[in-house]
Amino acid sequence: MKIELMRKIEVVPIGSIKPYENNPRVNDDAVLDVANSIQSFGFDVPITVDRDGVIVTGHTRYKAAQHLKLKEVPVIRLSHLKPAQIKAYRLADNKVAEKSEWHNAKLELELVQLEELKIDMSAFGFVKEQVEEADKSQGKKLDAMELRAFEHYDYLVFVFDNQMDWLNVLQAFDIQRVDGGYNGIRKVGLGRVIRGEKLIEKIGRSRSDTVKKQK
């Protein structure tokens, strides 16, 4: 199957292109975030247009450019596509994005690291509270209840001195929130608290002993 490579990028007057009048994607809430991104990092993702200069993909970038009062924008002309393909591509480009979701532990780690670097991601629509709310919404699916007779579930609770250590452990072990239970019921067990640093020390010793045995 032959795949078309990216076409030539042109820089054209913003007035020479126009939005698709029947664009089904509502994007007004994202315009300011995209404008902040363009202003901070540059206009690195071109708008695609058809033969007549009608936007195929990039309506939000177009509105962001208007917000920033840009006189020119980068575009790619999809002159190789037929009208039916243009219509299908316009929908497909937006639809496939809906299939993606955030890995909350990794996202939170990235946000914390950027916060330490004094980079404010709230200008692009990212706030740590969004991660917390996502976790809370998952927890609301299940109601807690006491263990029944003869049921026993053990778990460990690790305490860390700082959030960075905890987030690094989440990423290293790919730990994620889990909805446990059956028919909307979560089983609650007993646990004990140990220092997270002890876990890290134990992992380090275990790896060292394994290397020595292999030698």
Encode pLDDT of 169-213 as tens digits: 777 766 665 555 555 555 544 444 556 777 777 667 766 665 566
Give mean pLDDT, residues 144-165.
62
Q: Read off φ and ψ for residue 92, nearest 5 degrees.
A: -65, -40
Element (DSSP H or E) covering residue 192: strand 190-195
Q: Which CATH number fits domain 9-97: 3.30.420.40, 1.20.950.20, 3.40.1190.20, 3.90.1530.10?
A: 3.90.1530.10
| Predicted TM-score of the model (pTM) | 0.62
User: What residues does CATH 3.90.1530.10 cover in the chain?
Assistant: 9-97
Burial (0-12, 13-18, 19+ Cβ within 10 Å), 25? middle
The per-residue pLDDT for 52 is 95
